[in-house]
Amino acid sequence: MSLKDDLTKLRDDGIAQINQATDVNEITKEIKVNLLGKKGPITQALRGIKDLPVEKRPEVGSYANEIRDEIQNALDAKLKELEDKALEEQLVAEKIDVTLPSTPVAKGHPHVIQSIIDEICDMFMGMGYEVKSGPEVEEDKYNFEMMNLPKDHPARDMQDTFYITKEILMRTQTSPMQARTLEKHDFSKGPLKMISPGVVYRRDTDDPTHSHQFHQVEGIVIDKNITMGDLKGTLEYLLHQLFGNKYDIRLRPSYFPFTEPSVEADVTCFKCDGKGCDVCKHSGWIEVLGAGMVHPNVLKMAGVDADVYGGFAFGLGPDRFAMLKYGVEDIRDFYLNDVRFLSQFN
């Protein structure tokens, strides 16, 4: 038998052995070492080449290399086959019930009123309004006097007040921020466009529709050419953004001492789509905010020339918005912080 024949046989036997293998370790640790290892027959054969006549060496050498490659390829193929099979088995074994519940994750929730306030602020910031916050313990001067509500004004009755002293009180509205910002604003540097969210207090007994503590958002725009049409456009934008475009908006005359003209804005009742129901007291409309053109007395008292400057202001209640938008029936739910209530809002 020539060396070449030996090699041929080696290959045939080796490949047969490889094909029979069933285990990765068998291949890598035994067959591969046996066939191709340093002490293996191929290596031996290649070593034997040096004993061949010079002219025969290239042919046998190249044949031996060919054989080695063939064996290597067969090994690789078998190895891949076995690995694929093993992986497949593993994957089958690893199958899980994907409908089992997920591992719980700690998750906090924003307060629904805060979310509404943030949404409103973001909307107005996009229109170039600055955000200001003011004191919750306020002076009578800002809460009432400078808002054109002198002592003994009947509209003070509409806002029953928690007093601390005769002159210091829990603010009943965010409107004092109108007076505070007007007083400080430098109109030579541009118009005043401000929005002010915050907590307000009324001397009310808590019940499903009254809370001694609630929230308001105040807005004011003052410049030389601000019109009532601008107020209407701004309110329509706000309400459509908050409640959706499909609802109609209606402005009605109203009365606030710090605006003239004054309006209240109604939105189509969401519950009945304007047909009339208990929520809207069968009117088809839900009152959502009060607004108006800033009263010249308010401007004058804050030192602003009412002949040159004017504009609008509005005030709205995020608590009421949340109640309307989500059908919350009891305002106290916002302040009792039952986590089953709070965690419904994202």
Partner 1 sequence: MKISYNWLKEYIDLDIPADELAEKIERSSVEVDSVIKPSDGLKKIVVGKIVEMENHPDSDHLHICQVDVGEDEPVQIVCGAPNAQVGKNVITALSGARVADNMKIKKSKMRGIQSNGMLCALDEIGYPKDVVPKEWADGIYFLPEDATLGDDVYKYLGMDDALIDLDVTPNRGDMLSIYGTVHDLAAIYNKPAKFDLDKVSETSDKLTSDQIQSDVNDEIAWTYLNRVVNDVEVKPSPLWMQVRLWNAGIKPVNNIVDITNYSMLKFGQPMHAYDLDKLSGKVSVRYANDGEKITTLDENEVELDSNDLVVADDNGPIAMAGVIGGMDSSITADTKNVLFECAIFDPIKVRKMARKHVIHTEASQRFERGVDPMAVEDVLSSASEMAREIANGSVTNDVLVGSKYEAKKAVIEISVARINHVLGMELSAQEVIDIFERLGFEVKATGDDLVVTIPTRRGDIHIQADLIEEVARIYGYDNLPSTLPTTTMTTGGLNEEQQLIRDSRHILEGLGLTHAISYALTTEEKAKMFMMGESAQTDLSYPMSSDHTTLRMNLVSGLLDDIAYNKARKVDNVALYEQGRVFHKDNEDVVKPDEIEHLAGAMTGSLVDNSWNQPAKNVDFFQIKGIVNEYLETIGLNGEISYVSNASYPEMHPGRTADIFVHGHYVGFVGQVHPKIAKQFKINETYVFDLNLQTIIDLPKKEQSYELVSKYPSIKRDIAMLIDKNIENDSIVKVIEKRGGAYLVDVKLFDLYEGEHVPEDKKSLAYSLTFQNKHDTLVDDDVNNVMDKVQRNLEKEFNVEIR
Site for partner 1 in 285-314 (CB under 8 A): 293, 295-296, 310-311
Candidate ranges 28-36, 150-158, 172-180, 320-328; the one touching partner 1 (CB under 8 A)? 150-158
Candidate ranges 4-12, 13-21, 105-113, 172-180; the one touching partner 1 (CB under 8 A)? 105-113
Of 90 and 225, which has the nearer Cβ to partner 1?
A: 225
Burial of residue 305 (CB within 10 Å: 0-12, 13-18, 19+) is: exposed
DSSP assignment of 264-328 equals EEEEE-TTTTTS--TTTTTSSEEEEEEEEEEPHHHHHHTT--TTT-EEEEEEE-HHHHHHHHHT-
Nearest to 7 by CA among 56, 45, 47, 52: 45
Of 14 and 292, which has the nearer Cβ to partner 1?
A: 292
What are the start-end ranges of the H helices in the chain? 3-20, 24-25, 32-36, 41-48, 57-93, 112-125, 140-143, 176-184, 228-243, 296-301, 318-326, 333-336, 339-342
Contacts with partner 1: how many residues (CB under 8 A)?
Answer: 92
Minimum distance of partner 1 from residue 298's CB (angstroms): 10
207 binds partner 1 per the rule CB under 8 A: no
Residue type, 81: E
Candidate ranges 9-17, 18-26, 54-62, 133-141; the one touching partner 1 (CB under 8 A)? 133-141
Sites for partner 1 among residues 321-340 (CB under 8 A) = 334-340
Sites for partner 1 among residues 246-285 (CB under 8 A) = 250-255, 260-264, 281-283
Compute CA 328 distance to the chain's CA centroid, rounded to the nearest angstrom: 22
154 binds partner 1 per the rule CB under 8 A: yes
Nearest to 263 by CA among 284, 239, 294, 218: 294
Given 1, 98, 104, 246, the residue binding partner 1 (CB under 8 A):
104
Minimum distance of partner 1 from residue 32's CB (angstroms): 33
145 binds partner 1 per the rule CB under 8 A: no
Q: Taking every pair of C-alpha atoms in the chain, what is the biggest distance, in angstroms?
A: 129
Of 49 and 342, which has the nearer Cβ to partner 1?
A: 342
Sites for partner 1 among residues 165-204 (CB under 8 A) = 165, 167-168, 170, 190-191, 193, 199, 201, 203-204
Minimum distance of partner 1 from residue 113's CB (angstroms): 6
Classify residue 147 by its DSSP letter: G
Residue 317 CB contacts under 8 Å (≥ 6 apart), including other chains: 214, 215, 216, 217, 289
Given 71, 120, 221, 280, the residue binding partner 1 (CB under 8 A):
221
Of 63 and 237, which has the nearer Cβ to partner 1?
A: 237
Residue type, 166: K
